[in-house]
Structure 1
Amino acid sequence: MTTTTTTTTTYIAFLRAINVGGRTVKMERLRALFAELGLGGVRSYIQSGNVFFTSDATDGPGRAALTARIEEHLERELGYPVPVMLRTVDEVAALLAAEPFRGVEVTPDVRLVIAFLSEPLPAELARPHRSPKGDVEVLGADPGAAYLVIHLRDGKWVTKEVFDKSYRGSVTSRFLHTTEKILAAARKG
Protein backbone atom coordinates (compact mmCIF):
# COMPACT_ATOMS: atom_id res chain seq x y z
CA MET A 1 0.00 0.00 0.00
CA THR A 2 1.40 3.39 -1.01
CA THR A 3 0.84 6.52 0.93
CA THR A 4 0.84 9.89 -0.75
CA THR A 5 1.43 13.09 1.10
CA THR A 6 -0.28 16.19 -0.18
CA THR A 7 1.42 19.47 0.56
CA THR A 8 -0.84 22.45 0.93
CA THR A 9 0.15 26.06 0.58
CA THR A 10 -1.52 29.03 2.21
CA TYR A 11 -2.23 31.71 -0.35
CA ILE A 12 -3.28 35.31 -0.14
CA ALA A 13 -5.43 36.32 -3.08
CA PHE A 14 -5.12 40.05 -3.72
CA LEU A 15 -8.19 40.90 -5.79
CA ARG A 16 -8.69 43.93 -7.99
CA ALA A 17 -12.09 45.57 -8.54
CA ILE A 18 -13.72 44.44 -5.30
CA ASN A 19 -15.85 47.02 -3.49
CA VAL A 20 -14.84 49.91 -5.73
CA GLY A 21 -16.71 51.68 -8.48
CA GLY A 22 -20.13 50.41 -7.39
CA ARG A 23 -19.08 46.74 -7.48
CA THR A 24 -20.01 45.69 -3.97
CA VAL A 25 -19.42 42.17 -2.74
CA LYS A 26 -20.01 41.15 0.85
CA MET A 27 -17.10 39.20 2.28
CA GLU A 28 -19.38 36.30 3.22
CA ARG A 29 -20.33 35.93 -0.45
CA LEU A 30 -16.70 36.25 -1.56
CA ARG A 31 -15.60 33.54 0.88
CA ALA A 32 -18.41 31.30 -0.36
CA LEU A 33 -17.25 31.76 -3.97
CA PHE A 34 -13.74 30.61 -3.03
CA ALA A 35 -15.11 27.67 -1.02
CA GLU A 36 -17.18 26.60 -4.06
CA LEU A 37 -13.86 25.93 -5.79
CA GLY A 38 -12.91 23.40 -3.11
CA LEU A 39 -10.28 25.63 -1.54
CA GLY A 40 -9.55 25.04 2.13
CA GLY A 41 -9.60 27.34 5.15
CA VAL A 42 -11.13 30.27 3.26
CA ARG A 43 -11.04 33.55 5.17
CA SER A 44 -11.10 37.21 4.18
CA TYR A 45 -9.59 40.40 5.53
CA ILE A 46 -11.24 43.82 5.29
CA GLN A 47 -13.55 44.77 2.44
CA SER A 48 -10.94 45.46 -0.24
CA GLY A 49 -10.60 41.94 -1.65
CA ASN A 50 -8.04 40.00 0.35
CA VAL A 51 -8.79 36.29 0.67
CA PHE A 52 -6.73 33.60 2.43
CA PHE A 53 -7.05 29.92 1.57
CA THR A 54 -5.09 26.70 1.26
CA SER A 55 -4.52 24.70 -1.89
CA ASP A 56 -2.31 21.87 -3.06
CA ALA A 57 -1.37 23.86 -6.19
CA THR A 58 2.19 24.76 -5.30
CA ASP A 59 4.20 24.94 -8.52
CA GLY A 60 4.17 27.62 -11.23
CA PRO A 61 1.83 25.84 -13.67
CA GLY A 62 -0.46 24.78 -10.82
CA ARG A 63 -0.62 28.31 -9.48
CA ALA A 64 -1.32 29.74 -12.94
CA ALA A 65 -4.15 27.24 -13.45
CA LEU A 66 -5.54 28.02 -9.99
CA THR A 67 -5.42 31.76 -10.69
CA ALA A 68 -7.28 31.27 -13.99
CA ARG A 69 -9.87 29.04 -12.31
CA ILE A 70 -10.55 31.63 -9.59
CA GLU A 71 -10.77 34.49 -12.10
CA GLU A 72 -13.18 32.56 -14.35
CA HIS A 73 -15.38 31.59 -11.39
CA LEU A 74 -15.52 35.13 -10.01
CA GLU A 75 -16.32 36.64 -13.41
CA ARG A 76 -19.06 34.07 -14.04
CA GLU A 77 -20.64 34.59 -10.61
CA LEU A 78 -20.14 38.36 -10.20
CA GLY A 79 -20.64 39.39 -13.83
CA TYR A 80 -17.39 41.28 -14.29
CA PRO A 81 -13.68 40.42 -14.45
CA VAL A 82 -11.77 40.29 -11.17
CA PRO A 83 -8.00 40.05 -11.68
CA VAL A 84 -6.38 37.86 -9.02
CA MET A 85 -2.77 38.11 -7.84
CA LEU A 86 -1.91 35.00 -5.78
CA ARG A 87 0.98 35.14 -3.34
CA THR A 88 2.00 32.69 -0.65
CA VAL A 89 2.29 33.86 2.94
CA ASP A 90 6.04 33.21 2.71
CA GLU A 91 6.34 35.34 -0.45
CA VAL A 92 4.58 38.30 1.20
CA ALA A 93 6.71 37.88 4.33
CA ALA A 94 9.90 37.89 2.23
CA LEU A 95 8.72 40.94 0.30
CA LEU A 96 8.18 42.86 3.55
CA ALA A 97 11.41 41.57 5.13
CA ALA A 98 13.36 43.01 2.18
CA GLU A 99 12.28 46.47 3.34
CA PRO A 100 11.72 47.89 -0.15
CA PHE A 101 11.02 51.35 1.30
CA ARG A 102 14.09 51.56 3.55
CA GLY A 103 15.29 55.13 3.74
CA VAL A 104 12.10 56.72 2.40
CA GLU A 105 10.93 59.54 4.62
CA VAL A 106 7.20 59.32 5.33
CA THR A 107 5.46 62.68 5.59
CA PRO A 108 1.77 63.60 5.64
CA ASP A 109 1.94 63.85 1.82
CA VAL A 110 3.74 60.53 1.18
CA ARG A 111 2.18 57.05 0.98
CA LEU A 112 4.07 53.79 0.57
CA VAL A 113 2.31 51.34 -1.74
CA ILE A 114 2.94 47.80 -2.92
CA ALA A 115 1.54 47.16 -6.39
CA PHE A 116 0.95 43.42 -6.84
CA LEU A 117 1.53 42.49 -10.49
CA SER A 118 0.08 39.70 -12.62
CA GLU A 119 3.28 39.69 -14.69
CA PRO A 120 6.67 41.40 -14.40
CA LEU A 121 7.12 44.98 -15.51
CA PRO A 122 8.65 45.32 -18.98
CA ALA A 123 12.42 45.83 -19.09
CA GLU A 124 12.02 49.18 -20.84
CA LEU A 125 10.30 50.65 -17.77
CA ALA A 126 13.55 51.62 -16.06
CA ARG A 127 13.63 51.74 -12.30
CA PRO A 128 13.75 53.90 -10.41
CA HIS A 129 11.09 55.65 -12.43
CA ARG A 130 8.98 58.73 -11.79
CA SER A 131 5.60 59.43 -13.39
CA PRO A 132 5.42 62.40 -15.79
CA LYS A 133 3.60 64.49 -13.16
CA GLY A 134 6.12 63.48 -10.50
CA ASP A 135 3.49 62.18 -8.11
CA VAL A 136 4.49 58.49 -8.29
CA GLU A 137 7.96 57.03 -7.92
CA VAL A 138 8.59 53.38 -8.75
CA LEU A 139 11.50 52.60 -6.43
CA GLY A 140 11.98 49.07 -7.67
CA ALA A 141 10.22 45.89 -8.65
CA ASP A 142 10.52 42.15 -8.66
CA PRO A 143 8.53 39.78 -10.89
CA GLY A 144 5.46 39.96 -8.61
CA ALA A 145 5.41 43.48 -7.19
CA ALA A 146 6.45 47.07 -7.68
CA TYR A 147 7.26 49.42 -4.82
CA LEU A 148 5.68 52.85 -5.14
CA VAL A 149 6.09 56.10 -3.28
CA ILE A 150 2.98 58.21 -3.79
CA HIS A 151 3.25 61.99 -3.39
CA LEU A 152 -0.24 63.26 -2.60
CA ARG A 153 -1.52 66.42 -4.22
CA ASP A 154 -3.98 68.39 -2.11
CA GLY A 155 -4.29 65.28 0.05
CA LYS A 156 -5.25 63.05 -2.90
CA TRP A 157 -3.62 60.35 -4.99
CA VAL A 158 -4.18 61.83 -8.45
CA THR A 159 -2.50 59.33 -10.80
CA LYS A 160 -4.78 56.53 -11.96
CA GLU A 161 -2.30 54.72 -14.21
CA VAL A 162 1.07 54.18 -12.59
CA PHE A 163 2.75 52.32 -15.46
CA ASP A 164 2.77 53.28 -19.09
CA LYS A 165 0.90 51.38 -21.79
CA SER A 166 3.80 48.97 -22.28
CA TYR A 167 2.58 47.12 -19.17
CA ARG A 168 -0.29 44.86 -20.20
CA GLY A 169 -0.76 42.97 -16.95
CA SER A 170 -3.12 43.55 -14.06
CA VAL A 171 -2.22 45.50 -10.94
CA THR A 172 -3.82 45.80 -7.54
CA SER A 173 -2.29 47.99 -4.86
CA ARG A 174 -2.18 47.93 -1.08
CA PHE A 175 -0.63 50.45 1.29
CA LEU A 176 2.47 49.09 3.04
CA HIS A 177 0.83 49.19 6.48
CA THR A 178 -2.25 47.38 5.11
CA THR A 179 -0.04 44.69 3.54
CA GLU A 180 1.63 44.18 6.93
CA LYS A 181 -1.80 43.73 8.55
CA ILE A 182 -2.92 41.35 5.78
CA LEU A 183 0.14 39.17 6.37
CA ALA A 184 -0.44 39.12 10.14
CA ALA A 185 -4.09 38.10 9.61
CA ALA A 186 -3.10 35.38 7.12
CA ARG A 187 -0.61 33.93 9.60
CA LYS A 188 -3.30 33.65 12.30
CA GLY A 189 -5.14 31.01 10.31
Structure 2
Amino acid sequence: MTSWVALLRGVNVGGITVRGADLADLFRGLGFDGVKTVLASGNVLFDADAGTSARSDLKTRIEKALRDRFGYDAWIVLVPRVELDDAIEGFPFDAEDADRQPWVIFCSDSATVGELLEAASSLDEGVDPVAPGRGVVYWNPVKGTTVDTPFAKLLAQKRYKAMTTNRNLRTLRKIAGR
Protein backbone atom coordinates (compact mmCIF):
# COMPACT_ATOMS: atom_id res chain seq x y z
CA MET A 1 0.00 0.00 0.00
CA THR A 2 1.36 3.42 -1.00
CA SER A 3 0.28 6.73 0.52
CA TRP A 4 -0.36 9.37 -2.12
CA VAL A 5 -1.21 13.05 -2.34
CA ALA A 6 -3.27 14.34 -5.25
CA LEU A 7 -2.75 18.06 -5.80
CA LEU A 8 -5.58 19.35 -7.96
CA ARG A 9 -4.98 22.38 -10.11
CA GLY A 10 -7.50 25.19 -10.43
CA VAL A 11 -10.34 24.06 -8.16
CA ASN A 12 -12.42 26.45 -6.08
CA VAL A 13 -11.23 29.34 -8.23
CA GLY A 14 -12.52 30.68 -11.52
CA GLY A 15 -16.00 29.18 -11.11
CA ILE A 16 -14.85 25.60 -10.59
CA THR A 17 -16.24 24.55 -7.21
CA VAL A 18 -15.51 21.12 -5.77
CA ARG A 19 -16.61 20.47 -2.20
CA GLY A 20 -14.25 18.45 -0.03
CA ALA A 21 -16.92 15.89 0.88
CA ASP A 22 -17.72 15.30 -2.80
CA LEU A 23 -14.03 15.03 -3.62
CA ALA A 24 -13.50 12.47 -0.84
CA ASP A 25 -16.52 10.48 -2.09
CA LEU A 26 -15.03 10.37 -5.58
CA PHE A 27 -11.71 9.02 -4.30
CA ARG A 28 -13.45 6.42 -2.12
CA GLY A 29 -15.54 5.43 -5.14
CA LEU A 30 -12.32 4.80 -7.05
CA GLY A 31 -11.47 2.22 -4.38
CA PHE A 32 -8.86 4.19 -2.44
CA ASP A 33 -8.44 3.87 1.33
CA GLY A 34 -7.61 6.42 4.01
CA VAL A 35 -9.09 9.26 1.95
CA LYS A 36 -8.78 12.71 3.51
CA THR A 37 -9.18 16.15 1.94
CA VAL A 38 -7.20 19.07 3.33
CA LEU A 39 -8.25 22.71 2.93
CA ALA A 40 -10.38 23.86 0.02
CA SER A 41 -7.57 24.10 -2.52
CA GLY A 42 -7.82 20.56 -3.89
CA ASN A 43 -5.55 18.40 -1.75
CA VAL A 44 -6.37 14.73 -1.25
CA LEU A 45 -4.44 12.21 0.83
CA PHE A 46 -5.20 8.57 0.06
CA ASP A 47 -3.77 5.07 0.08
CA ALA A 48 -3.70 2.83 -2.98
CA ASP A 49 -2.55 -0.67 -3.62
CA ALA A 50 -0.27 0.68 -6.34
CA GLY A 51 3.38 1.64 -6.14
CA THR A 52 5.13 4.59 -7.71
CA SER A 53 5.46 2.75 -11.03
CA ALA A 54 1.68 3.11 -11.36
CA ARG A 55 1.74 6.91 -10.96
CA SER A 56 0.87 7.69 -14.58
CA ASP A 57 -2.06 5.25 -14.65
CA LEU A 58 -3.39 6.52 -11.31
CA LYS A 59 -3.09 10.13 -12.46
CA THR A 60 -5.00 9.42 -15.68
CA ARG A 61 -7.70 7.48 -13.82
CA ILE A 62 -8.22 10.23 -11.23
CA GLU A 63 -8.27 13.02 -13.82
CA LYS A 64 -10.89 11.18 -15.88
CA ALA A 65 -13.05 10.62 -12.80
CA LEU A 66 -12.78 14.31 -11.85
CA ARG A 67 -13.76 15.37 -15.38
CA ASP A 68 -16.70 12.96 -15.47
CA ARG A 69 -18.02 13.85 -12.00
CA PHE A 70 -17.41 17.59 -11.82
CA GLY A 71 -17.48 18.58 -15.49
CA TYR A 72 -14.25 20.53 -15.73
CA ASP A 73 -10.90 20.02 -17.46
CA ALA A 74 -9.17 18.40 -14.48
CA TRP A 75 -5.39 18.34 -14.05
CA ILE A 76 -3.53 16.96 -11.05
CA VAL A 77 -0.01 16.38 -9.92
CA LEU A 78 0.20 13.09 -8.07
CA VAL A 79 3.02 12.52 -5.59
CA PRO A 80 3.79 9.75 -3.13
CA ARG A 81 3.51 11.04 0.43
CA VAL A 82 7.25 10.52 0.92
CA GLU A 83 7.95 12.99 -1.91
CA LEU A 84 5.67 15.56 -0.29
CA ASP A 85 7.64 15.17 2.95
CA ASP A 86 10.92 15.53 1.01
CA ALA A 87 9.63 18.72 -0.65
CA ILE A 88 8.76 20.23 2.73
CA GLU A 89 12.07 19.29 4.31
CA GLY A 90 14.09 20.44 1.32
CA PHE A 91 12.81 24.03 1.19
CA PRO A 92 16.09 25.93 0.76
CA PHE A 93 15.02 29.46 1.65
CA ASP A 94 14.10 31.08 4.97
CA ALA A 95 10.53 29.83 5.29
CA GLU A 96 9.91 32.17 8.23
CA ASP A 97 10.83 35.36 6.35
CA ALA A 98 7.64 37.44 6.80
CA ASP A 99 8.41 39.46 3.65
CA ARG A 100 8.42 36.47 1.29
CA GLN A 101 6.06 33.74 0.08
CA PRO A 102 7.50 30.21 0.33
CA TRP A 103 6.21 28.36 -2.75
CA VAL A 104 6.80 24.82 -3.97
CA ILE A 105 6.00 24.12 -7.62
CA PHE A 106 5.22 20.45 -8.21
CA CYS A 107 5.94 19.14 -11.70
CA SER A 108 4.63 16.01 -13.37
CA ASP A 109 7.97 15.25 -14.99
CA SER A 110 11.66 16.03 -14.73
CA ALA A 111 11.70 17.74 -18.13
CA THR A 112 9.34 20.41 -16.79
CA VAL A 113 11.53 20.90 -13.72
CA GLY A 114 14.55 21.35 -16.00
CA GLU A 115 12.71 23.76 -18.29
CA LEU A 116 11.56 25.95 -15.39
CA LEU A 117 15.03 25.99 -13.84
CA GLU A 118 16.61 26.84 -17.19
CA ALA A 119 14.22 29.76 -17.67
CA ALA A 120 14.79 30.94 -14.09
CA SER A 121 18.57 30.95 -14.50
CA SER A 122 18.39 34.25 -16.41
CA LEU A 123 16.10 35.97 -13.88
CA ASP A 124 17.00 38.39 -11.10
CA GLU A 125 17.51 36.23 -7.98
CA GLY A 126 16.46 39.13 -5.75
CA VAL A 127 13.07 39.27 -7.47
CA ASP A 128 12.63 35.60 -8.34
CA PRO A 129 14.70 33.36 -6.06
CA VAL A 130 14.32 29.87 -7.51
CA ALA A 131 16.02 26.61 -6.53
CA PRO A 132 15.80 22.96 -7.62
CA GLY A 133 14.38 20.12 -5.56
CA ARG A 134 13.44 16.49 -6.12
CA GLY A 135 10.59 16.74 -8.63
CA VAL A 136 9.87 20.32 -7.56
CA VAL A 137 11.02 23.87 -8.03
CA TYR A 138 11.22 26.12 -5.00
CA TRP A 139 10.30 29.78 -5.38
CA ASN A 140 10.47 32.52 -2.74
CA PRO A 141 9.17 35.85 -4.11
CA VAL A 142 8.40 38.98 -2.10
CA LYS A 143 4.81 38.99 -0.79
CA GLY A 144 2.44 40.80 -3.10
CA THR A 145 4.45 40.04 -6.25
CA THR A 146 3.41 36.44 -6.91
CA VAL A 147 1.52 37.29 -10.09
CA ASP A 148 3.78 40.06 -11.39
CA THR A 149 7.32 38.71 -11.48
CA PRO A 150 8.87 37.18 -14.61
CA PHE A 151 8.83 33.71 -13.01
CA ALA A 152 5.15 34.12 -12.07
CA LYS A 153 4.36 34.99 -15.68
CA LEU A 154 6.31 31.94 -16.85
CA LEU A 155 4.33 29.66 -14.51
CA ALA A 156 1.05 31.16 -15.77
CA GLN A 157 1.71 30.07 -19.34
CA LYS A 158 -0.86 27.65 -20.71
CA ARG A 159 1.73 24.99 -21.53
CA TYR A 160 2.38 24.43 -17.80
CA LYS A 161 -1.30 23.92 -16.90
CA ALA A 162 -1.26 20.13 -17.20
CA MET A 163 2.23 19.68 -15.76
CA THR A 164 2.49 21.91 -12.68
CA THR A 165 0.69 23.08 -9.60
CA ASN A 166 1.99 25.15 -6.74
CA ARG A 167 1.40 25.16 -3.01
CA ASN A 168 2.54 27.46 -0.26
CA LEU A 169 4.86 25.73 2.20
CA ARG A 170 2.37 26.43 5.02
CA THR A 171 -0.33 24.60 3.05
CA LEU A 172 2.02 21.65 2.49
CA ARG A 173 2.69 21.46 6.22
CA LYS A 174 -1.07 21.30 6.86
CA ILE A 175 -1.45 18.55 4.26
CA ALA A 176 1.34 16.63 5.98
CA GLY A 177 -0.27 17.17 9.40
CA ARG A 178 2.57 19.29 10.77
Note the 1:26-175 alignment, pairs <5 A: 26-60=19-53, 62-101=54-93, 103=94, 106-108=97-99, 110-120=100-110, 121=112, 123=114, 125-126=117-118, 129=121, 131=123, 135-142=127-134, 144-152=135-143, 155-159=144-148, 160-163=152-155, 168=160, 169-175=162-168
Q: Among residues 163, 178, 182, which one is paired with 2:171 in the alignment?
A: 178
**Percentage of identical aligned residues:** 31
Greater share of strand residues, 1 or 2? 1
Between the two structures, name the one with larger relative contact order (CA 8 Å, sep ≥ 6). 2
TM-score, normalising length from structure 2? Answer: 0.82
Q: Distance in 1 between matches of 2:156 and 2:77?
A: 20
CA shift, 1:151, in A, is 2.0
Q: 1:114 to 1:130 in 2, by over 3 A?
A: farther
Q: How many residues get paired?
A: 172
Greater share of helix residues, 1 or 2? 2
**RMSD, aligned CA:** 2.8
Q: Distance in 2 between matches of 1:116 and 1:45?
A: 17
Q: Distance in 2 between matches of 1:180 and 1:150?
A: 19
Unmatched 5+ residue regions in structure 2?
none
TM-score, normalising length from structure 1? Answer: 0.78
Amino acid paired to 1:56: D
CA shift, 1:122, in A, is 5.7
Q: Distance in 2 between matches of 1:31 and 1:105?
A: 32
Unmatched 5+ residue regions in structure 1?
1-7
Mapped contact 1:130–1:137 kept (Cα < 8 A)? no
Instruction: From the CA coordinates, give the structure whose radius of gyration is larger.
Output: 1
Q: 1:78 to 1:33 in 2, by over 3 A?
A: same
DSSP 3-state at the match of 1:67: helix
